[in-house]
Structure 1
């Protein structure tokens, strides 16, 4: 599967509200499918299983079977890949702009004559 196909699968998985709710439920620790069904009362077990299957195909959920139980673990690595590709570069650019602005503000305040005050802070 190409990188673009993996991102398509990931965004499809994240595009549904129920799947995002499932990820929210397992972000602090794994849960069994039964435990998820108990919380997601508006969905039947079959629908929960279908959503888990989509999340698993996207690499967001790793399934561990313990006897008859199916434990669903969050794998945040695909989300990290999104952060690295799109969010990280923009955040770095924004931080750079803020740093430049801070530098300009410090330079401007140093340029004020002695005893003068910056009226923008009033």
Structure 2
């Protein structure tokens, strides 16, 4: 199970650049995120469908990333999916000085938490 933290900055072209770390890593590494389709229904920055890539010990990882803005909570919900469409990671963040910062967890940890507590009923 993986729990980590990230930040992402948006370029003028809509792409995202950032860094992340988690308890399994000894360093902070980069994530590059290319805009595929902006969310036209939501005028907020960062919302849309992206192609994300980063390096792990075994090599490069590519993932579809969907970012949605929740106007009620003012949080951004992030979902990373592998090439088969399976969810790999869930994240939640908020903006600080036009930088999206937050935390993420793998799908296994989220399922574990959902099945053992009601923590997601309150957020």
Structure showing the higher helix proportion among its residues? 1
User: What TM-score, normalized to structure 2?
Assistant: 0.30
Structure showing the higher strand proportion among its residues? 2
